[in-house]
Structure 1
Amino acid sequence: MESVSPNIYVYDIDATVAFYKQLGFEVAGTVPDHAGGLTFVMMTCGAVTFMFQTFHSIDGQLPIVRRENGGSLLLYIKMKGIRAYYERIKDIATVVTPLEKTFYGATEFSIEDNNQYLLTFAEDE
């Protein structure tokens, strides 16, 4: 195995793209829906790739994907330059856990994205 790229289901894909752009992600690819909007977006930041897809686009096709926005998903993102990044985005997103040194030696902070998913950023300092 070499990487994992989660496909995260959302209701408002345009708001999600706008939010993740503020975090430094760029759009790498899109799939339009029949009405001319977007149904799928791939976004990257460094070596991290997230895919976002609308719940509506899979209506009835994947019954196991039935949760509401948010839930018990935590995306753990290892990075470099965590302190500068924290200062850059702390007022953009809801900070759940401020910058702290963990018992296992990582420096981390967690935010809530616009879909109530939890993102934890970590650096081994």
Structure 2
Amino acid sequence: MESLSPNIFVKDINETINFYKLLGFDLVMTVPDTGSDLVWAMMMKGGVTMMFQTFNSLGDELPEINRNNGGSLLLYIKLDNITTYFESIKDHVKVLKGLEKTFYGATEFSIADNNNYVLTFAEDE
């Protein structure tokens, strides 16, 4: 195995792209390539790749995928300079848990994205 890139299902691709740009992600690719009726997007920040796809684009394929926002999923993202990053986004996102040191030696904080998925950012001490 070489990598893991989650493909997260969302209602509004453009709103999701704007949210992740706020977190510092760059838009890498979309389907279609241009226009306002996007059904899929790939975004990257450093070594983290996230893909987003609309629920509607699935049609009747994969009925096992829940069609609700959010879910029992937490994305754990490691980064450097966590305090600086937290300060740069905290006033623009829904912070679920502020900066704290954990018993296992990491500093972490958690936010909810615009689709109600939980993102936990961590820096090892």
Structure 1 equivalent of residue 42 of structure 2:
42
Residue 70 (structure 1) aligned with residue 70 (structure 2): yes
Structure 1 equivalent of residue 15 of structure 2:
15
- Structure 2 Cα separation of the partners of residues 110 and 76 of structure 1: 9
Cα deviations by residue, 1:51-92 (Å, 9 ceiling, x for unpaired): 000000001011111230001110000010100000000011
Structure 1 length as normaliser, TM-score? Answer: 0.95
Q: How does 1:1-125 map to 2 (within 5 A)?
A: 1-32=1-32, 37-125=37-125
Q: CA RMSD in A?
A: 1.3
How far the C-alpha of 1:118 sits from its partner, in A, is 0.1
Give the 4+ runs in structure 1 shifted more than 4 A. none
How far the C-alpha of 1:9 sits from its partner, in A, is 0.2
Give the aligned residue type for 1:120: T
- Structure 2 Cα separation of the partners of residues 31 and 64 of structure 1: 23
Unaligned 5+ residue runs, structure 2?
Answer: none
- Structure 2 Cα separation of the partners of residues 64 and 40 of structure 1: 19
- Structure 2 Cα separation of the partners of residues 36 and 48 of structure 1: 25
- Structure 2 Cα separation of the partners of residues 91 and 73 of structure 1: 24
Aligned length: 124
How far the C-alpha of 1:36 sits from its partner, in A, is 5.1
How far the C-alpha of 1:18 sits from its partner, in A, is 0.3
Structure 2 length as normaliser, TM-score? Answer: 0.95
Query: 1:96 aligns to what SS in structure 2?
Result: strand
Identity %: 62
- Structure 2 Cα separation of the partners of residues 25 and 36 of structure 1: 19
How far the C-alpha of 1:4 sits from its partner, in A, is 0.6
Give the aligned residue type for 2:56: H
- Structure 1 Cα separation of the partners of residues 36 and 43 of structure 2: 19
